[in-house]
Amino acid sequence: MRAQFLMRRRLVGLAILALLPFGGGCAGTGHWATPSLPEAKRQVGEYVDSGRYEADIAAVAEKARTYLESRAHRGGKLAIVVDLDETALSNLPSLRANDYGFIGAGPCDLPRGPCGLAAWIMMAKAEPIKPVLALAELARQRGVAVFFLTGRPERMRAATEANLRAAGYAWTGLILRPDVLTTRSAAEFKAPERKKIEEQGYTIIVNVGDQASDLDGGFAEKTYKLPNPFYLIP
């Protein structure tokens, strides 16, 4: 599935590149809404460097925190479900090193780049996204189970566990996608996995992720969408 995601992401990039000559031709008319690729990257960099990205994450996490606090009081066998990349963990060093382009294969040379995504994940050096770490800690303090649910493949489990531990997380379950997957989208994988958690008797009160595909398909009382200006996973 990752390969499919990556392929689609690459296709989006190619589509933008294919449009560029026309974009250039239309720029003078003022009717062309798509920014050039350098301009789009500049805007992403500015969004991150200005602190707005972090502030937007904190605002969403605060809403989740408020709901968790109020809901936990009512009791039950409760759980939260948390996505990993750009939700629990930040891949910003690798994204920056690639000037917000996507590089899947090859070594990860930091901070200069390029930085291959798989190599970066295996380094297990992603920092926690702090408002999400605080949310996970609050859940555990309130007796609410924490399940991580990620599109990272099962073969990356050891590195992923090491990274989560180093980042300060504790959890009840870590669900990675099978190395060979047949679903067409992340939502088609993740929603049934949430259903399985509920079949264990849990009520998922909060589901937080940076992609709509982390949240679509039900099996959560409330969903919380973090910003991700870097990539889109269908």
Shortest Cβ contact with Mg ion: which residue?
85
Q: Which residue stretch of 82-90, 91-99, 126-134, 155-163 sits at the interface with Mg ion (rule: CB under 5 A)?
A: 82-90
Identify which of 169, 207, 217 has the alpha carbon closest to the alpha carbon of residue 81. Answer: 207
Nearer residue to Mg ion within complex by CB, 87 or 223: 87
Q: 196 CB contacts (<8 Å, ≥6 apart)?
A: none
| The two structure tokens encoding residue 234 | 């269908």
Identify which of 191, 193, 149, 157 has the alpha carbon closest to the alpha carbon of residue 173. Answer: 149
Q: From the list 5, 65, 81, 83, which residue makes contact with Mg ion (rule: CB under 5 A)?
A: 83
Q: How far is the CB of 109 from Mg ion (least distance, A)?
A: 24
Q: How far is the CB of 230 from Mg ion (least distance, A)?
A: 10
Nearer residue to Mg ion within complex by CB, 77 or 157: 157
Q: From the list 85, 186, 189, 197, which residue makes contact with Mg ion (rule: CB under 5 A)?
A: 85
| Residue 215 makes contact with Mg ion by CB under 5 A | no
188-216 as b/e, with b when 16 or more CB fall inside 10 Å?
bbbbebbeebeeeebbbbbbbbbbebbbb
* Residues 227/210, Cβ–Cβ less than 8 Å: yes
Q: How far is the CB of 229 from Mg ion (least distance, A)?
A: 13
Residues in contact with Mg ion, counted by CB under 5 A, come to a total of 5
Which residues face 150 on adjacent strands?
Answer: 176
Q: How far is the CB of 34 from Mg ion (least distance, A)?
A: 25
Q: From the list 65, 71, 86, 217, which residue makes contact with Mg ion (rule: CB under 5 A)?
A: 86
Binding map of Mg ion across residues 122-161, x = CB under 5 A, - = no contact: ----------------------------------------
| Residue 193 makes contact with Mg ion by CB under 5 A | no
* Residues 131/61, Cβ–Cβ less than 8 Å: yes
Sheet with 222-225: strands ordered across: 173-177, 145-153, 78-82, 203-209, 222-225
- 47-51-53 Cα angle (round to 5): 55
Q: Which residue stretch of 60-68, 87-95, 97-105, 158-166 sits at the interface with Mg ion (rule: CB under 5 A)?
A: 87-95
| Residue 210 makes contact with Mg ion by CB under 5 A | yes
- Contact residues: Mg ion, CB under 5 A: 83, 85-87, 210
